[in-house]
């Protein structure tokens, strides 16, 4: 036991890094077990979107959104999603389909939506990259973004 303590004292940066990584892994483990959202493929997303109860929210920044997005998607960038959450509250009873470029930001946004009390949250697997490149599904290109009204 003395050797462990000696190692920790001599290599405090490594020990701290190990503690942080361990904490993050445990946190991620519990997020996966108790997650309140699911990932779906673009083809299944189209089926869900045909049910008129689904709201598509794109969490990319406005310039990326304007270059191409899913029809009728609402742009709510992840960088200011917390401020926009009160306006999005009217969609709590709807199915929320979150998308971004690759799926990484949508996963972070899903945690925010789950913490805000949204019941049914879906993530688009592969994001817009999967939507366009893998499945060749249509996108809409606009000169301005559709924001929350």
Residues 51 and 64 in one domain: yes
- What pLDDT sits at residue 142? 81
If asked whether residues 45 and 22 sit together in one domain, one would say no
Same domain, 59 and 116: yes
141 belongs to a structural domain: no
Residue 41 belongs to domain spanning: 36-134
pLDDT at 55: 96
pLDDT digits (tens, 9 = 90+) for 63-79: 999 999 999 999 999 99
When divided into structural domains, the chain yields a total of: 2
What is residue 133's predicted lDDT score, i.e. its pLDDT?
Answer: 87
Q: What is the dihedral of CA 104, 111, 96, 126, to 10 degrees?
A: 20
Does residue 61 sit within a domain? yes
Those residues with Cβ within 8 angstroms of residue 55's Cβ, 6 or more apart along the chain or in another chain: 74, 91, 94, 95, 96, 97
Say yes or no to pLDDT of 144 above 80. Answer: no
End-to-end, the C-alpha distance of the chain in Å comes to 62
- Whether 145 is covered by a domain: the verdict is no
């Amino acid at each position: 036991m003395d050797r462990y303590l000696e190692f920790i004292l001599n290599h405090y940066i490594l020990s701290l890094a190990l503690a942080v990584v361990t904490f993050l892994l445990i946190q991620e483990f519990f997020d996966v077990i108790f997650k309140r959202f699911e990932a779906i493929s673009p083809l299944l997303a189209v089926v869900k979107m045909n049910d008129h109860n689904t709201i598509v929210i794109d969490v990319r920044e406005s310039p990326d959104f304007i270059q191409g997005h899913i029809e009728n998607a609402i742009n709510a960038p992840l960088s200011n999603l917390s401020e926009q959450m009160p306006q999005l509250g009217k969609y709590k009873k709807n199915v929320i389909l979150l998308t971004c470029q690759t799926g990484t930001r949508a996963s972070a946004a899903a945690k925010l939506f789950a913490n805000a009390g949204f019941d049914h949250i879906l993530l688009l697997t592969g994001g817009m990259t999967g939507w366009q490149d893998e499945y060749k599904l249509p996108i809409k290109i606009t000169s301005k973004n559709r924001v929350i009204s």
